[in-house]
Amino acid sequence: MTKPSATGQPTHSGKQRSSFSGKMGYVLAVAGSAVGLGNIWRFPYLAAKYGGGIFLLIYLLLMLTFGYALIISETALGRMTKKSPVGAFHSFGKSLPFHFGGWVNAVIPMLIVPYYCVIGGWVAKYLFEYVKGSAAVLAEDSYFSNFISSGASAEFWLIVFSLAVFLVIIAGVKQGVERVSKIMMPVLVILAIFVSLYSVTRPGAMEGVKYLLVPNLDNFSWMTVVTAMGQMFYSLSIAMGILYTYGSYLKKEVDIEKSTSQVELFDTAIAILAGLMIIPAVFAFSGGSPDTLQAGPSLMFITIPKVFAHMEMGDGFGILFFLLVLFAALTSAISLMETGVSTFEDQFGWSRKKCSLLMAAIILVLGSASALGFSSLDFISLLGMSILDFFDFLTNSIMMPLAALATCFLITRVAGLDAIAKEVEQSSAFRRKKLYYFFMKYLAPVFLGIILISSIANAFGWISM
């Protein structure tokens, strides 16, 4: 987690709470955390799997309502208490529900980062192969499945990626990485626009564009809502303690509402661009086969190499694309790991090194389980899911709704909606205040409760969605 100093430069001391230099610094930091594999890898495969246009529509509606209300809530609570989630909850009470609320928020990034590093490793492997000149091989149908089922290779790349994250955290060169990523991000956006233009103009691709952009009610299922909700949390870094911490570094004069809208706009634009790169390609190169649309986590790794294989200078684009994705993944993984490290530091008072080693151990153990879940551990099926899918499901569909519920209760029952409004109004008028109150009071708790119960019921096979 970024711990910016008064000049806006991150420090790692964490002793004195510092602040972002201004609105721009804050928006960039939050956007940097938000844009990652969630946008480029996760959004397209979920949109492909759960109904295309109808998924996108529900995603947008949820983002503009729940997402908006929750980002404001977490940021305002962070700024008000000047604490990360565990401390923020504790500053309102010390009984069990407060412990639970803080810790459920804090534990989520610790469970996400291991499997995030597995996917990061896949990206690193693809980059390596492109550099080696194996573009044609990567575009073969069974390449990806062969790769992930060869346990040793997947494990090796997990270690490579996690080591990079670990070294950045230990060496404290995060600042340098962030600076580089400020250049890489715009390049990524330009490349994404370019590749998506190429993708949507292939023969047959229009079907894919339609599939992604035009809602079709026939494709609707309750799972569409559940996964869209989980994806919204994931992509915007909501309900995992991150925004509390960022909020705690935020100066009083920064307009929380406006920055929230900007972050949402940027994050969603990148997700849609990624969708436009990948989904039309499924139609152009695989005839829109339902199998490919349902491919899940492997979708990006299957279709993108096919796009580049058809492109002039595709090898060069392959290198550039995976390099940029690798960077986006690295910066997000660093901020996820850093969140875990700073929670340990704050709560246990251990040294930074010890906390980093503990996080590294967690990543190695849980990450290896996820990586090997497609090979030597493939006999393990948790509620019918592979280990990686299970962690993704557990955090996104169960723990994040719980964490968001905890935040809702903290606000409506303890801190009071007015206190949040007052915090927001320190910098500007609270333009959507009525809407905010309505969501937090009525819609959010009911809706989150329904989501939570239905995803548990679905996982245990009590209902089928």
Backbone CA torsion sign across 302, 306, 307, 313: positive
Q: Which span (31-39, 84-92, 179-187, 383-391) binds ligand PHE, by CB under 6 A?
A: 31-39
**Looking at beta carbons only, is 110 or 440 nearer to ligand PHE?**
110
In angstroms, the CA 246 to CA 236 distance is: 13
Label residue 160 exposed, middle or buried (CB < 10 Å: 0-12, 13-18, 19+).
middle
Q: Which listed residue (196, 224, 235, 342) binds ligand PHE by CB under 6 A?
A: 235
**CA geometry: angle 142, 111, 366, nearest 5 deg:** 60
Amino acid at 6: A
**Looking at beta carbons only, is 335 or 342 nearer to ligand PHE?**
335
In angstroms, the CA 463 to CA 456 distance is: 9
Q: Which listed residue (27, 31, 240, 415) binds ligand PHE by CB under 6 A?
A: 240
Q: Which span (137-145, 153-161, 234-242, 351-359) binds ligand PHE, by CB under 6 A?
A: 234-242
Phi first, then psi, for residue 427 (nearest 5°) are -110, -30
**Looking at beta carbons only, is 298 or 426 nearer to ligand PHE?**
298
| Residue 34 is a binding residue for ligand PHE (CB under 6 A) | yes
Q: Which listed residue (38, 78, 230, 247) binds ligand PHE by CB under 6 A?
A: 38
Q: Which listed residue (2, 39, 75, 407) binds ligand PHE by CB under 6 A?
A: 39
Q: Which residue's Cβ has the minimum distance to ligand PHE?
A: 38
Residue 10 pairs in a beta bridge with 4
In angstroms, the CA 428 to CA 430 distance is: 6
**Looking at beta carbons only, is 38 or 121 nearer to ligand PHE?**
38
In angstroms, the CA 261 to CA 302 distance is: 33
| Residue 332 is a binding residue for ligand PHE (CB under 6 A) | yes
Please enumerate in sequence order all residues whose Cβ is within 8 A of that of 311, keeping only pairs 6 or more positions apart, or say none: 198, 317
* Coil/strand/helix, residue 255: coil
Question: Which tokens belong to 161?
Answer: 């990626």
Q: How far is the CB of 181 from ligand PHE (least distance, A)?
A: 12
Per-residue string for binding with ligand PHE, 336-375, x by CB under 6 A? x---------------------------------------
| Residue 237 is a binding residue for ligand PHE (CB under 6 A) | yes
Residues at the contact surface with ligand PHE, assessed by CB under 6 A: 33-34, 36-39, 109, 234-235, 237, 240, 242, 332, 335-336
